[in-house]
Amino acid sequence: MSAQDPKPLPPEPPLPSDCCDSGCAVCVHDTYAEELQYYREQLAAWTARQSRELDGGPASSDASKS
């Protein structure tokens, strides 16, 4: 893990008291689910980059485009 490419941090889950149970159009649980999905995508990309670095391959997918 490099300082230039830190591991993504997971989002903080909402507290039970954060939801008002009023049926909001965008609930804190919806927002958390979206943030969690984004985190998982970022973590998968980070893991792939780390794996390439350990294997001695290019750390960036841009290198394969040239």
Query: What pLDDT sits at residue 66?
Result: 43
pTM of the model: 0.74
Query: What pLDDT sits at residue 3?
Result: 73
What are the backbone angles phi and psi of residue 13, rounded to the nearest 5°? Answer: -70, 150
Task: Give average pLDDT by consecutive 10-residue segment, the chain, 66 residues.
Answer: 88 97 96 98 96 73 49
